[in-house]
Structure 1
């Protein structure tokens, strides 16, 4: 358990560092925007400078401040472990952004957009893959999935759309187009490392259905459907557990299965839509 937690913390640190590199060395110097709360923090910081405000706040500090109210709500509604790692990721990202200089490595805006999007996405993708998050919209996604089954993509699209429009207003239409390039590159890389679907259907065939059900319910707020199953070759009686989870819960579920029944057969299927009740109180 300690080894797993140490591995998780290491990934969170690495993810935050990669995101800081992407922002300070590629996106911020080129006035190309990231997605989600990081892009929103860039936008607010840029607007303060653009309109010659009497004070300025760095992108890293703004990102930290934007995440505070979300983190407080998530601590009560989502769970302490997920929220703690998410806040740690945001705090480390802020720290790395303050320590690293904002420096332009290349005057080529296409290189800045592509490499900024890809490097940041590698950090985000691996952070999600190991059961943590980078805060911001990831926490909003978890909150929405626990309160009501609403597609997070709609909100993310609206926020990114606002960022793109404002980028065009401040720095010209060309910056908006390059921001789109960065967002596209980022999305593709995160999809390749983790998963592009917000929801996943998991089928678990096991001999330890009761132990597995108890362990899953202790960790996740998800309903489970239990079905009888029988091995075709062995003729052994087993049970199949079917459940729908969000992509943010995939790591925790995999660890539970590995601990309770490493011999279980698991099939994870991408889910495009869910109709009906999608949570367990």
Structure 2
């Protein structure tokens, strides 16, 4: 990947970390509304340690909790994805130290809703550009890629224990606001991420072997190769047809552009997919 592309992803990771830290320190933590995933667990532990005069910030706990998950992600998902996830967690911890814990409003409902929207915007943007904010995002990402279903639903299921904990330790009124925050979050994440939406890409290229090899190396999808002839040039071409998720469209565009800048690609939305959706079998 080019330096420009890596810089763009890093910039998005930084923005996502700022939004995540802002949602916690300006909305969720002051209102005692728990976030989802590892962030919510870190909030819960930090709050429970307070009465025992053990003060560990949510940011530090978030970093510590993410270390074993990052190790699993390094093995199961990939080094690049996990590296950016760790960068995101470290930056979130740093930004939480910079942004003061100060509520913008005393209304718990507004804190729950806007905290969910701000945080989910950061998470969704980070996921969309091939990274994550760590923790449950990595686990949910694996499940979403395997089952091809909305990532938000998995995150909501994984966060059920946090909702119950909020009710047990802070009262069921807080648990309901935590539930509302997580519902808002998954709706925003699904709207931004949309990994479960299928697209069909038709790639007309004079370098089919190179393009096919590059796609196979970086996308876990099958490819159908169709012989074709240019209507205007009367030259032989090949059409590579593959079904991808909307999440993979960014990667597909980059791969094709780098491999064959003169290729013509038409992308259409797919209503349904039946049969094999993963590689490495060529139809």
TM-score when scaled to structure 1? Answer: 0.84
Q: Which residue of 1 aligns with 2:223?
A: 225
1:64 Cα deviation after fit = 0.9
Q: Deviations over 1:65-98 (max 9, x none)?
A: 1111111122233221111111101110011112
In the TM superposition, 1:86-105 aligns within 5 A as 86-105=85-104
- Consecutive unaligned residues of structure 1, counting only runs of 5 or more, are none
Q: Which residue of 2 aligns with 1:34?
A: 35
Q: Which residue of 2 aligns with 1:136?
A: 135
Structure 1 residues 102 and 273 mapped into 2: Cα distance closer, same or farther (>3 Å)? farther
| Alpha-carbon distance in 1 for matches of 2:133, 2:95 | 14
Q: 10-19 or 125-134: which moved more?
A: 125-134
TM-score when scaled to structure 2? Answer: 0.83
Q: Which residue of 2 aligns with 1:21?
A: 22
1:161 Cα deviation after fit = 1.3
Q: Indicate whether 1:46 and 2:47 are aligned.
A: yes
Q: 36-45 or 252-261: which moved more?
A: 252-261
- Consecutive unaligned residues of structure 2, counting only runs of 5 or more, are none
* Secondary structure in structure 2 of the residue aligned to 1:158: helix
| Alpha-carbon distance in 2 for matches of 1:273, 1:53 | 54
In the TM superposition, 1:66-77 aligns within 5 A as 66-77=65-76
Alpha-carbon RMSD across the aligned residues, in angstroms, is: 3.0
Structure 1 residues 229 and 184 mapped into 2: Cα distance closer, same or farther (>3 Å)? farther
* Secondary structure in structure 1 of the residue aligned to 2:102: coil
**Number of residue pairs aligned between Structure 1 and Structure 2:** 275
Q: Which residue of 1 aligns with 2:267?
A: 267
Structure 1 residues 32 and 229 mapped into 2: Cα distance closer, same or farther (>3 Å)? farther
| Alpha-carbon distance in 2 for matches of 1:7, 1:273 | 32
Structure 1 residues 165 and 193 mapped into 2: Cα distance closer, same or farther (>3 Å)? same
Contact 2:212 2:223 in 1 (8 A): no
Contact 2:243 2:277 in 1 (8 A): no
Contact 1:205 1:229 in 2 (8 A): no
1:167 Cα deviation after fit = 0.9
Q: Indicate whether 1:212 and 2:205 are aligned.
A: no
Structure 1 residues 157 and 272 mapped into 2: Cα distance closer, same or farther (>3 Å)? farther
1:107 Cα deviation after fit = 0.4
Q: Indicate whether 1:242 and 2:235 are aligned.
A: no
